[in-house]
Amino acid sequence: MAQQSWTNNDGFTIDTNKNFLDVDVIYDFLHNESYWAKEITKDLVVEAIRNSTLCYGIYEGNPTEGKAKQVGFARVVSDLVRFAWLGDVFVVPEYRGRGLSKWLISTITNHPQLKGVSFQLATGDAHGLYAQYGFHPIDHIERKMERTMNWDEIHRGHELNK
């Protein structure tokens, strides 16, 4: 899939090139600040990025033009036809309140190969943000099932030490 890049008037860039991602920033946020991935290791962050269909980094500056600081992230797992899962969405605290999360979600949901796809996500605190982009509580929740995550099995499956 072709990498894409968008720059706003405030000097921030969203880019899908995984080579620009700062794994340390992503790991630090997920492990230390998120409520959903506190047990993740840096090795598993690398695996999650590698295996995701699309990853979106938000940067102060433009990584295609040199040094840029990563200030946000999101990833999508999808078949690009019927199903997409949006996860690990964040903007680091000191950059919140600048419209970056809205810009990020708008960019993701308007991707030509994701526009009509059924999207799912989980959130504990951003329902209002996602509702602005067509997300709503799951219809027919009684038809949905899940299997609980097991960090030990994940590490073993990737032959990684915890």
- The string of pLDDT tens digits covering residues 98-155 is 999 999 999 999 999 999 999 999 999 999 999 999 999 988 889 888 888 888 888 8
pLDDT band (50, 70, 90) for residue 42: very high
What is the C-alpha to C-alpha distance for residues 19 and 113, in angstroms, rounded to an integer?
Answer: 21
Write out the two tokens for 89: 């969405």
Note the pLDDT tens digit of each residue in 51-99.
999 999 999 999 999 889 999 999 999 999 999 999 999 999 999 999 9
What percent of the chain clears pLDDT 90, i.e. is strictly above it? 78
Contact assessment for residue 86 and residue 73, using Cβ atoms and an 8 Å cutoff: no
What is the C-alpha to C-alpha distance for residues 146 and 83, in angstroms, rounded to an integer?
Answer: 15
What is the C-alpha to C-alpha distance for residues 45 and 77, in angstroms, rounded to an integer?
Answer: 14
Which pLDDT score is estimated for 70? 98
Entry pTM: 0.92
Q: Is the pLDDT score of 22 beyond 80?
A: yes
Write out the two tokens for 130: 């996602």
Contacts of 20 (CB under 8 A, 6+ apart): 57, 59, 63, 64, 68, 70
More reliable by pLDDT, 159 or 102: 102
Q: Is the pLDDT score of 1 beyond 80?
A: no
C-alpha dist (Å) from residue 54 to 75, 77, 109: 6, 7, 12
Classify domain 5-157 at the CATH topology level.
Aminopeptidase (3.40.630)
